[in-house]
Amino acid sequence: MHKFGGHIVIMLVLLLSACAKREEPLYQQQLLTFGTIVEISIWGAEKGLAQQASSQIGEDLQQMHNDWHAWHDSPLVRMNQALSVGASATVPASILPLVQKSIALSRASEGMFNPAIGRLIKLWGFEQDDLPSGPPPDPAAIAALTKQHPGMDDLILDGGRLRSTNPAVQLDFGAIAKGHGVDLAITRLRELGIQNAIINAGGNLRAIGKHGDRPWRIGIRNPRGEGVLASIETRGDESILTSGDYERFYEYQGKRYHHIIDPRSGYPVTGVISVTVIADDAATADAASTALFVAGPQRWREIAKKLGVTQVMLIDGQGRMVVTPAMAKRVRFEVDPSPKVTVAPL
């Protein structure tokens, strides 16, 4: 009897230790690439596969960063040189989807998202890794570039060759590249057989599948101050991206100059702090969040409709929050007291 009892105890202990050893099947990895911190979360894959997938994604993203760089010597810089002298250039395969998506999204946003303003971005100094420190550029230089109206409509894309009818066009994909890169990383994960994951490039993310038996829950950063403003539970495959005036900025004589430029004025947009968009793919959500930021409190609904985007949260210059009805159903505020939020039908 005694002996038997002893066996049970030992078996229980073994069982318990086996349980304790079983790891939670969540793999997380942070990479410094793409000019930001990229966080990879994978649920339910064997550890070796998850490791292999995340190092592959690290390589992919680094390659994209090199290909799409708007100022280091890169295929994009060489293409921009051709555009500035009216020559036609073969669009490298890695850049072609960015050009195609950007032409369509720029048109749909009435040029609020306008990757043809590379010269303005450069004039402001936001094309570099290091932040500029001010003073802001000479108003005459800003006006000179703005009145040449560089736009994606100036481009003629013909069988993989691109030229510009406006020599002022210089392409800078800063407002869509992260999104497109996240899309490609998700495609890579799926190719490797991974079904449940999040790729988050500095708060710009796409989620697929679930976190075990519950949805992934992601946080939206508080645009002023520390911590998380709100959380959203993702549904299947979707992308959540935010454009904010706090990502890249400098202050000069008490004024904030940030990296989202209104192509009409040539100056950083005022009156908006952040725009969060949920959409099917990250490239669309990225371009849309920038476009709605530029469109501002007066026009964002109209531009959202044109872009086919229904889930939006905008925080205006006074910190007031406006959400679409579809976003209102998704977002849960994590601050106390819960902020006053206006629901605005599109």
- Contacting residues toward ligand ADP, per CB under 6 A: 113-115, 121, 126, 172, 174-175, 178, 204, 243-244, 247-248, 259-261, 263, 286, 290, 294
Residue whose structure tokens are 């990479």: 31
Least separation, in Å, of the C-beta of 303 and Mg ion? 13
173-to-92, 102, 130, 165, 228 alpha-carbon distances in Å: 14, 8, 18, 19, 28
Nearest Cα residue to 162 out of 98, 109, 111: 98
Least separation, in Å, of the C-beta of 174 and ligand ADP? 2
Task: Return the one option of Mg ion, ligand ADP, none that residue 238 interacts with (CB less than 5 to 8 A, by type).
Answer: none
Class of residue 47 by CB neighbours under 10 A (exposed 0-12, middle 13-18, buried 19+): exposed
Q: Which is nearer to Mg ion, 182 or 327 (CB)?
A: 182
Report 225-254 residues binding Mg ion (CB under 5 A). Answer: 243
CA angle 151, 157, 158 (to 5 degrees): 160
User: In angstroms, rounded to a whole number, what is the distance separating the alpha carbons of residues 149 and 152?
Assistant: 10
First to last CA, the chain: 75
Least separation, in Å, of the C-beta of 176 and ligand ADP? 7
Q: Which is nearer to ligand ADP, 196 or 290 (CB)?
A: 290
Q: Which is nearer to ligand ADP, 50 or 123 (CB)?
A: 123
Q: Collapsing DSSP states into helix, strand and coil, what is residue 163?
A: strand
Which tokens hold the place of 94?
């890695």
Task: Return the one option of Mg ion, ligand ADP, none that residue 164 interacts with (CB less than 5 to 8 A, by type).
Answer: none
Q: Which is nearer to ligand ADP, 54 or 290 (CB)?
A: 290
Residue type, 333: F
Is there binding between residue 288 and Mg ion (CB under 5 A)?
A: no
Contacts of the segment 137-145: beta carbons below 8 A, 24+ positions apart = 142/266, 142/267, 143/266, 145/117, 145/119, 145/120, 145/266
User: In angstroms, rounded to a whole number, what is the distance separating the alpha carbons of residues 293 and 275?
Assistant: 6
Q: Please provide the size of the chain in residues.
A: 346
Determine the interface stretch with Mg ion among 158-166, 226-234, 289-297, 337-345 (rule: CB under 5 A). Answer: 289-297
Task: Return the one option of Mg ion, ligand ADP, none that residue 113 interacts with (CB less than 5 to 8 A, by type).
Answer: ligand ADP
Is there binding between residue 286 and Mg ion (CB under 5 A)?
A: yes
Least separation, in Å, of the C-beta of 307 and ligand ADP? 13
Q: Which is nearer to Mg ion, 53 or 175 (CB)?
A: 175
Task: Return the one option of ligand ADP, Mg ion, none that residue 69 interacts with (CB less than 5 to 8 A, by type).
Answer: none
User: In angstroms, rounded to a whole number, what is the distance separating the alpha carbons of residues 106 and 100?
Assistant: 10
Task: Return the one option of Mg ion, ligand ADP, none that residue 281 interacts with (CB less than 5 to 8 A, by type).
Answer: none
Least separation, in Å, of the C-beta of 179 and Mg ion? 6
Is there binding between residue 175 and Mg ion (CB under 5 A)?
A: yes
* Contact residues for Mg ion, defined by CB under 5 A: 175, 243, 286, 289-290
